[in-house]
Amino acid sequence: MKILLSGAKGNLGRAIMAQSDFEIVELNREDWTDLDGLCSGASGGNRNGRPVNTIIHGAYDLTARVDSDPESVVQSNIMTTARLLTAAKRHGISRFCYVSTCAVYGEDADGRQVTNQPPATPYGKIKKLNEMMIDSFCAANKIEHVTCRVFNLYGGDDRFSILHHLGEAIRSDRPFILNNGGQEWRDFIHVNDAARAIVSLATLDQAWKEIDVGTGEAVQIADIVSAMQRVNPALRITHALRPGPKYSCANPGRIAKILPAGFISLPAYLTQHFQIPDLIPASFEHSA
C-alpha cells in the first residue's frame, strides 16, 4: 500500500508517518504543484513509479483566519480538499481518509448523542463542509472513504492544546488565559494514539463512514489547571469568556475495536511531563 499524506510536517502528520509501516508520500505546502506526479509515482526524488492507492488528508491551516484573510482560508482548507478528491478520481485512488474534528458537533460536542446542531465555529463549519463534500464525491465515484473526528490532541510536538499553553505559561512566566472558568469537560487523546487509529482506519476494510477518534473519557479543564498550580504555585491565571461546548467527549465504541489495547494515560503523561503526582481520577468521566 502507498499512502499520500497531506499535512505531513504537522504534529499529527509526523505521528502518522512514525506509526505507519506503509510507504508514505509526503504532501506539504511546497508539493501541491506536483500533486499529479506524487499520485502517479511519476515524480523524481524517492518515488518508485508505483501509484498511490490511499489518501490521508490531514492538512489544515490553523493560522489563516476568516475575519482577516478569507481567501487563504478557502484556498488552504477547502480547495485543497477539492483538489485531492479530483486527483483521487483522476488517478484511480481507491481510499480517502479525512482527518476532521469534534468541532463538527457544535455546542453539544458529545459523540454519544446524535445532534442536529450545526458547528459553532468557522473551523467546525469548514470541517463539516469538507465532510459533506467528501461523502458526496466519494459515494458518486465509488471511492471508499472514512472521516475521523479527532478530539483534543496532546503530546508529540504539540503547539495548540491547553497542555502546551499551560507549559508555555510556566516556562515564560506569562499568565495562562483560562476560558469560562475552566468549567468545560474535554476528551484528550495522545497524538500517537490518534495516529495509530487513523492509519488503521485508512488501510483496513471497514464499513464506517465516520468515527470518533477520542478516548471516551472527559476531564474538567479546571482540574488540570488546579493540578498545575499545586506543582507550580507561581502560575498566574487570567480569565476570559469564549464560546465553546461545555462538554466534549467521544463515543469510544468504534475506536475500541481499532485500538483494543487502550490509550496513553493522560494522568501518566502529566506526571511525566509536568510532575503532577495526583490528577484526581474522579475528575474523569467515563462514557457509558
> What pLDDT shows up at residue 287?
47
Measuring CA to CA, which residue among 240, 231, 224, 248 is closest to residue 178?
A: 240
**C-alpha cell belonging to residue 182:** 475552566
> What pLDDT shows up at residue 246?
87
**Contact at 8 Å (CB) between 232 and 166?**
no
Going from the N-terminus, what domains does the chain have, and what CATH number goes with each? 2-153+188-213 (3.40.50.720), 158-187+216-250+264-286 (3.90.25.10)
**Contact at 8 Å (CB) between 156 and 192?**
yes
pLDDT, tens digit only, all 288 positions of the chain: 999 999 999 999 999 999 999 999 999 999 999 999 999 988 754 556 789 999 999 999 988 888 889 999 999 999 999 999 999 999 999 999 999 999 998 876 555 555 667 888 899 999 999 999 999 999 999 999 999 999 999 999 999 999 999 999 999 989 999 999 999 999 999 999 999 999 999 998 877 899 999 999 999 999 999 999 999 999 999 999 988 888 889 998 899 999 999 999 999 999 988 888 765 444 555 443
> What pLDDT shows up at residue 288?
37
> What pLDDT shows up at residue 284?
53
pTM recorded for the entire structure: 0.91
